[in-house]
Protein backbone atom coordinates (compact mmCIF):
# COMPACT_ATOMS: atom_id res chain seq x y z
CA UNK A 1 0.00 0.00 0.00
CA UNK A 2 1.21 3.49 -0.86
CA UNK A 3 2.11 5.75 2.06
CA UNK A 4 0.03 8.71 0.84
CA UNK A 5 -3.28 9.06 -1.02
CA UNK A 6 -4.76 12.19 -2.61
CA UNK A 7 -8.42 12.46 -3.62
CA UNK A 8 -8.82 15.23 -6.16
CA UNK A 9 -11.51 16.73 -8.38
CA UNK A 10 -13.93 19.54 -9.01
CA UNK A 11 -15.60 21.23 -6.04
CA UNK A 12 -18.77 19.43 -4.96
CA UNK A 13 -18.03 16.01 -6.48
CA UNK A 14 -17.67 14.39 -3.06
CA UNK A 15 -13.91 14.33 -2.42
CA UNK A 16 -14.40 14.77 1.33
CA UNK A 17 -16.99 11.98 1.55
CA UNK A 18 -14.89 9.54 -0.49
CA UNK A 19 -11.63 10.29 1.32
CA UNK A 20 -13.34 10.14 4.74
CA UNK A 21 -15.05 6.85 3.83
CA UNK A 22 -11.83 5.22 2.59
CA UNK A 23 -10.01 6.39 5.73
CA UNK A 24 -12.81 5.18 8.02
CA UNK A 25 -13.11 1.77 6.40
CA UNK A 26 -9.34 1.21 6.34
CA UNK A 27 -9.18 2.08 10.05
CA UNK A 28 -11.89 -0.55 10.69
CA UNK A 29 -9.59 -3.05 8.98
CA UNK A 30 -6.90 -2.31 11.58
CA UNK A 31 -4.91 0.04 9.36
CA UNK A 32 -3.59 3.07 11.24
CA UNK A 33 -4.82 6.07 9.25
CA UNK A 34 -4.30 9.84 9.37
CA UNK A 35 -6.73 11.87 7.28
CA UNK A 36 -5.80 15.47 6.46
CA UNK A 37 -8.00 18.19 4.95
CA UNK A 38 -6.19 20.68 2.72
CA UNK A 39 -9.47 22.24 1.60
CA UNK A 40 -10.00 25.75 3.03
CA UNK A 41 -13.74 24.94 3.23
CA UNK A 42 -12.96 22.25 5.85
CA UNK A 43 -15.93 19.90 5.83
CA UNK A 44 -13.94 16.96 7.18
CA UNK A 45 -14.69 17.78 10.82
CA UNK A 46 -18.40 17.98 10.00
CA UNK A 47 -18.34 14.46 8.54
CA UNK A 48 -16.79 13.05 11.71
CA UNK A 49 -18.73 15.38 14.01
CA UNK A 50 -15.49 16.59 15.58
CA UNK A 51 -13.74 19.95 15.80
CA UNK A 52 -10.46 19.55 13.90
CA UNK A 53 -7.40 21.83 13.98
CA UNK A 54 -3.81 22.05 12.75
CA UNK A 55 -2.90 19.42 15.36
CA UNK A 56 -4.00 15.81 14.88
CA UNK A 57 -6.98 14.67 16.91
CA UNK A 58 -8.54 11.21 17.35
CA UNK A 59 -11.58 10.41 15.22
CA UNK A 60 -11.94 6.78 16.26
CA UNK A 61 -9.95 3.59 16.71
CA UNK A 62 -6.88 3.70 14.42
CA UNK A 63 -8.03 6.99 12.89
CA UNK A 64 -6.81 10.55 13.50
CA UNK A 65 -7.61 13.76 11.64
CA UNK A 66 -6.08 17.17 10.86
CA UNK A 67 -7.51 20.24 9.15
CA UNK A 68 -4.67 22.36 7.79
CA UNK A 69 -5.04 26.03 8.72
CA UNK A 70 -3.77 27.58 5.49
CA UNK A 71 -3.50 31.10 6.94
CA UNK A 72 -1.27 29.77 9.75
CA UNK A 73 0.97 28.01 7.21
CA UNK A 74 1.17 31.14 5.06
CA UNK A 75 2.27 33.08 8.16
CA UNK A 76 4.83 30.38 8.93
CA UNK A 77 6.15 30.48 5.34
CA UNK A 78 6.48 34.29 5.47
CA UNK A 79 8.29 34.11 8.82
CA UNK A 80 10.78 31.60 7.37
CA UNK A 81 11.30 33.85 4.35
CA UNK A 82 11.93 36.87 6.59
CA UNK A 83 14.47 34.95 8.68
CA UNK A 84 16.25 33.64 5.58
CA UNK A 85 16.63 37.14 4.14
CA UNK A 86 18.06 38.40 7.42
CA UNK A 87 20.55 35.54 7.75
CA UNK A 88 21.67 35.21 4.13
CA UNK A 89 21.71 38.71 2.65
CA UNK A 90 24.04 41.41 3.88
CA UNK A 91 21.97 44.16 2.29
CA UNK A 92 18.66 43.36 4.01
CA UNK A 93 19.04 46.47 6.18
CA UNK A 94 19.05 48.62 3.00
CA UNK A 95 15.48 47.61 2.16
CA UNK A 96 12.29 47.80 4.15
CA UNK A 97 12.06 44.12 5.00
CA UNK A 98 8.59 44.32 6.54
CA UNK A 99 7.14 45.99 3.44
CA UNK A 100 8.76 43.31 1.28
CA UNK A 101 7.24 40.51 3.39
CA UNK A 102 3.83 42.21 3.33
CA UNK A 103 3.96 42.27 -0.47
CA UNK A 104 5.14 38.64 -0.53
CA UNK A 105 1.95 37.68 1.32
CA UNK A 106 -0.05 38.53 -1.82
CA UNK A 107 2.46 37.20 -4.34
CA UNK A 108 1.48 34.38 -6.72
CA UNK A 109 2.51 31.00 -5.33
CA UNK A 110 2.52 31.92 -1.64
CA UNK A 111 -0.49 29.74 -0.81
CA UNK A 112 0.86 26.88 -2.89
CA UNK A 113 4.22 26.93 -1.10
CA UNK A 114 2.42 27.03 2.25
CA UNK A 115 0.42 23.91 1.26
CA UNK A 116 3.62 22.18 0.10
CA UNK A 117 5.42 22.81 3.38
CA UNK A 118 2.32 21.63 5.27
CA UNK A 119 2.32 18.35 3.30
CA UNK A 120 6.06 17.99 3.84
CA UNK A 121 5.63 18.56 7.58
CA UNK A 122 2.76 16.06 7.86
CA UNK A 123 4.73 13.41 5.99
CA UNK A 124 7.95 13.97 7.94
CA UNK A 125 6.25 14.05 11.33
CA UNK A 126 3.66 11.29 10.94
CA UNK A 127 4.52 8.88 8.11
CA UNK A 128 6.33 6.47 10.42
CA UNK A 129 3.38 6.31 12.83
CA UNK A 130 0.66 5.50 10.26
CA UNK A 131 0.05 2.90 7.58
CA UNK A 132 -1.32 5.62 5.31
CA UNK A 133 -1.95 9.38 5.22
CA UNK A 134 -5.01 10.38 3.18
CA UNK A 135 -5.36 13.95 1.89
CA UNK A 136 -8.71 15.53 1.09
CA UNK A 137 -7.65 18.21 -1.41
CA UNK A 138 -8.96 21.68 -2.36
CA UNK A 139 -10.81 22.19 -5.66
CA UNK A 140 -8.81 21.57 -8.84
CA UNK A 141 -6.98 24.88 -9.39
CA UNK A 142 -5.11 25.04 -6.07
CA UNK A 143 -4.45 21.28 -6.08
CA UNK A 144 -2.85 21.39 -9.53
CA UNK A 145 -0.74 24.38 -8.57
CA UNK A 146 0.74 22.84 -5.42
CA UNK A 147 1.36 19.50 -7.19
CA UNK A 148 3.12 21.41 -9.99
CA UNK A 149 5.23 23.57 -7.68
CA UNK A 150 8.12 21.13 -7.04
CA UNK A 151 8.94 20.55 -10.72
CA UNK A 152 8.35 24.16 -11.80
CA UNK A 153 10.31 25.68 -8.92
CA UNK A 154 13.15 23.18 -9.39
CA UNK A 155 13.74 24.67 -12.86
CA UNK A 156 13.76 28.18 -11.41
CA UNK A 157 16.10 27.24 -8.53
CA UNK A 158 18.41 25.47 -10.99
CA UNK A 159 18.79 28.66 -13.02
CA UNK A 160 19.38 30.73 -9.86
CA UNK A 161 22.09 28.27 -8.79
CA UNK A 162 23.83 28.66 -12.16
CA UNK A 163 23.66 32.45 -11.83
CA UNK A 164 25.13 32.21 -8.33
CA UNK A 165 28.00 30.06 -9.61
CA UNK A 166 28.81 32.74 -12.19
CA UNK A 167 28.85 35.41 -9.46
CA UNK A 168 31.23 33.32 -7.35
CA UNK A 169 33.56 32.75 -10.33
CA UNK A 170 33.64 36.50 -11.00
CA UNK A 171 34.55 37.07 -7.34
CA UNK A 172 37.41 34.59 -7.69
CA UNK A 173 38.67 36.47 -10.76
CA UNK A 174 38.50 39.83 -8.96
CA UNK A 175 40.36 38.52 -5.90
CA UNK A 176 43.02 36.91 -8.10
CA UNK A 177 43.71 40.37 -9.55
CA UNK A 178 43.29 42.29 -6.26
CA UNK A 179 43.26 40.23 -3.03
CA UNK A 180 42.20 43.36 -1.07
CA UNK A 181 39.17 44.09 -3.23
CA UNK A 182 36.25 45.50 -1.23
CA UNK A 183 33.63 43.67 -3.26
CA UNK A 184 33.66 40.77 -0.81
CA UNK A 185 34.05 42.81 2.37
CA UNK A 186 31.61 44.78 4.48
CA UNK A 187 34.02 47.76 4.40
CA UNK A 188 36.94 48.52 2.08
CA UNK A 189 40.38 48.36 3.73
CA UNK A 190 41.09 51.97 2.89
CA UNK A 191 37.92 52.98 4.80
CA UNK A 192 38.93 51.24 7.98
CA UNK A 193 38.22 47.61 7.09
CA UNK A 194 40.24 45.11 9.09
CA UNK A 195 42.59 42.99 6.98
CA UNK A 196 42.48 40.26 9.65
CA UNK A 197 38.69 39.95 9.47
CA UNK A 198 37.64 37.16 7.06
CA UNK A 199 35.95 38.28 3.88
CA UNK A 200 32.17 38.41 4.16
CA UNK A 201 31.36 37.21 0.65
CA UNK A 202 32.31 33.65 -0.19
CA UNK A 203 34.06 32.79 -3.45
CA UNK A 204 33.54 29.03 -3.26
CA UNK A 205 30.05 27.54 -3.53
CA UNK A 206 30.88 25.15 -0.67
CA UNK A 207 31.09 28.17 1.63
CA UNK A 208 28.49 30.43 0.05
CA UNK A 209 25.37 30.63 2.22
CA UNK A 210 23.13 31.58 -0.67
CA UNK A 211 24.31 28.71 -2.89
CA UNK A 212 23.97 26.29 0.02
CA UNK A 213 20.44 27.55 0.63
CA UNK A 214 19.51 27.11 -3.03
CA UNK A 215 20.91 23.57 -2.94
CA UNK A 216 18.83 22.85 0.16
CA UNK A 217 15.66 24.15 -1.51
CA UNK A 218 16.42 22.05 -4.59
CA UNK A 219 16.84 18.89 -2.51
CA UNK A 220 13.61 19.65 -0.65
CA UNK A 221 11.65 20.10 -3.88
CA UNK A 222 13.15 16.96 -5.42
CA UNK A 223 11.97 14.96 -2.43
CA UNK A 224 8.45 16.42 -2.71
CA UNK A 225 8.37 15.60 -6.42
CA UNK A 226 9.41 12.02 -5.59
CA UNK A 227 6.72 11.91 -2.92
CA UNK A 228 4.02 12.87 -5.44
CA UNK A 229 5.26 10.71 -8.30
CA UNK A 230 6.37 7.54 -6.46
CA UNK A 231 4.96 7.41 -2.93
CA UNK A 232 1.44 8.71 -3.59
CA UNK A 233 -1.80 7.17 -4.80
CA UNK A 234 -3.83 9.71 -6.76
CA UNK A 235 -7.53 9.24 -7.39
CA UNK A 236 -9.76 11.69 -9.24
CA UNK A 237 -13.37 11.87 -8.07
CA UNK A 238 -15.97 12.57 -10.75
CA UNK A 239 -19.76 12.64 -11.00
CA UNK A 240 -21.79 11.40 -13.99
CA UNK A 241 -21.88 14.86 -15.57
CA UNK A 242 -19.92 16.61 -18.30
CA UNK A 243 -18.36 19.38 -16.18
CA UNK A 244 -16.75 17.16 -13.54
CA UNK A 245 -15.50 14.76 -16.24
CA UNK A 246 -13.96 17.63 -18.24
CA UNK A 247 -12.18 18.89 -15.14
CA UNK A 248 -10.94 15.39 -14.30
CA UNK A 249 -9.46 15.09 -17.78
CA UNK A 250 -7.72 18.43 -17.33
CA UNK A 251 -6.23 17.18 -14.05
CA UNK A 252 -4.87 14.09 -15.79
CA UNK A 253 -3.37 16.10 -18.67
CA UNK A 254 -1.68 18.60 -16.34
CA UNK A 255 -0.27 15.89 -14.06
CA UNK A 256 0.99 13.80 -16.99
CA UNK A 257 3.10 16.77 -18.07
CA UNK A 258 4.66 16.81 -14.59
CA UNK A 259 5.41 13.09 -14.57
CA UNK A 260 2.74 12.49 -11.91
CA UNK A 261 0.16 9.92 -12.96
CA UNK A 262 -3.39 9.21 -11.78
CA UNK A 263 -3.93 5.74 -10.30
CA UNK A 264 -7.73 5.59 -10.50
CA UNK A 265 -10.99 7.39 -11.11
CA UNK A 266 -13.81 7.22 -8.58
CA UNK A 267 -17.24 7.70 -10.16
CA UNK A 268 -19.23 9.09 -7.25
CA UNK A 269 -22.95 9.82 -6.89
CA UNK A 270 -23.82 7.43 -9.68
CA UNK A 271 -26.83 5.13 -9.89
CA UNK A 272 -26.75 1.50 -8.86
CA UNK A 273 -26.54 0.65 -12.57
CA UNK A 274 -23.45 2.84 -12.94
CA UNK A 275 -24.79 5.74 -14.99
CA UNK A 276 -21.92 7.52 -16.72
CA UNK A 277 -19.39 4.74 -16.25
CA UNK A 278 -19.05 3.92 -19.94
CA UNK A 279 -18.30 7.56 -20.77
CA UNK A 280 -15.70 7.85 -17.99
CA UNK A 281 -13.99 4.60 -19.02
CA UNK A 282 -13.91 5.74 -22.67
CA UNK A 283 -12.20 9.00 -21.71
CA UNK A 284 -9.83 7.45 -19.16
CA UNK A 285 -8.86 4.41 -21.24
CA UNK A 286 -6.55 2.13 -19.27
CA UNK A 287 -7.19 3.82 -15.92
CA UNK A 288 -9.35 1.79 -13.50
CA UNK A 289 -12.75 3.32 -12.78
CA UNK A 290 -14.50 2.49 -9.50
CA UNK A 291 -18.12 3.29 -8.71
CA UNK A 292 -19.61 4.70 -5.53
CA UNK A 293 -23.41 4.89 -5.87
CA UNK A 294 -25.27 7.92 -4.58
CA UNK A 295 -26.28 7.77 -0.92
CA UNK A 296 -29.73 9.33 -1.32
CA UNK A 297 -30.00 10.69 2.22
CA UNK A 298 -26.36 11.79 2.43
CA UNK A 299 -23.99 11.25 5.35
CA UNK A 300 -26.01 11.88 8.49
CA UNK A 301 -23.74 10.11 10.99
CA UNK A 302 -20.22 8.70 11.10
CA UNK A 303 -21.69 5.18 10.98
CA UNK A 304 -22.97 5.93 7.45
CA UNK A 305 -19.35 5.78 6.27
CA UNK A 306 -19.41 2.02 6.80
CA UNK A 307 -22.13 1.50 4.17
CA UNK A 308 -20.83 3.74 1.36
CA UNK A 309 -19.39 1.55 -1.38
CA UNK A 310 -15.71 2.41 -1.88
CA UNK A 311 -14.59 -1.22 -2.04
CA UNK A 312 -13.05 -0.90 -5.50
CA UNK A 313 -10.88 2.16 -4.90
CA UNK A 314 -10.01 0.99 -1.37
CA UNK A 315 -8.76 -2.40 -2.58
CA UNK A 316 -6.85 -0.80 -5.44
CA UNK A 317 -5.18 1.53 -2.97
CA UNK A 318 -4.22 -1.37 -0.69
CA UNK A 319 -2.73 -3.25 -3.65
CA UNK A 320 -0.73 -0.27 -4.97
CA UNK A 321 3.03 -0.58 -4.62
d(CA 315, CA 22): 10
pLDDT of residue 109: 65
Cβ atoms of 257 and 266 closer than 8 Å: no
| Angle formed by the axes of helices 140-177 and 209-230, nearest 10° | 150
Domain span holding position 96: 4-157+226-319
Is 10 contained in some domain? yes
Is 192 contained in some domain? no
User: Where does residue 87 rank: exposed (0-12), middle (13-18), buried (19+ CB within 10 A)?
Assistant: exposed
Q: Which of 39, 64, 136, 208 is catalytic?
A: 39
Is 185 contained in some domain? no
Structural domains of the chain, count: 1
Where is 149: in which H helix or E strand? helix 140-177
Q: For residue 235, give the 3-state DSSP assignment.
A: strand
φ and ψ of 166, to 5 deg: -65, -40
Is 138 contained in some domain? yes
Which CATH number is 148's domain given? 3.40.50.300
**Can 39 be counted among the known catalytic residues?**
yes
Q: For residue 234, give the 3-state DSSP assignment.
A: strand
Is 276 contained in some domain? yes
Is 274 contained in some domain? yes
Is 279 contained in some domain? yes
Angle, CA of 92, 97 and 103, to the nearest 5°:
135
Closest CA to 204 of 226, 175, 233, 231: 175
Is 248 contained in some domain? yes
pLDDT of residue 318: 95
pLDDT per residue rounded down to tens, the chain (321 residues): 999 999 999 989 999 999 999 999 999 999 999 999 998 877 899 999 999 999 999 999 999 999 999 888 888 877 777 776 666 555 445 455 566 556 565 565 678 888 888 999 999 999 999 999 999 998 887 788 888 878 777 777 888 888 888 888 887 887 777 776 655 544 444 444 444 444 455 677 777 777 777 788 888 888 988 899 889 999 999 999 999 999 999 999 989 988 889 999 999 999 988 889 999 999 998 899 999 998 877 788 899 999 999 999 999 999 998
Amino acid sequence: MKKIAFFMGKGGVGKTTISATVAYQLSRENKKVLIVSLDPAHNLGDVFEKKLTNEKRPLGANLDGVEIDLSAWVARYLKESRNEIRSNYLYHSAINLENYVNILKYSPGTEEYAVLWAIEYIYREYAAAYDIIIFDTPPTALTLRFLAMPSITSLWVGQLSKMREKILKKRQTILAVNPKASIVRNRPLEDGGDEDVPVQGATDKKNDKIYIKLSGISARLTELQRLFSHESYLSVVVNPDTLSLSEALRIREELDRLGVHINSVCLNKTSAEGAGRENVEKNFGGCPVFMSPLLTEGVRAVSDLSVIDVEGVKNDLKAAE
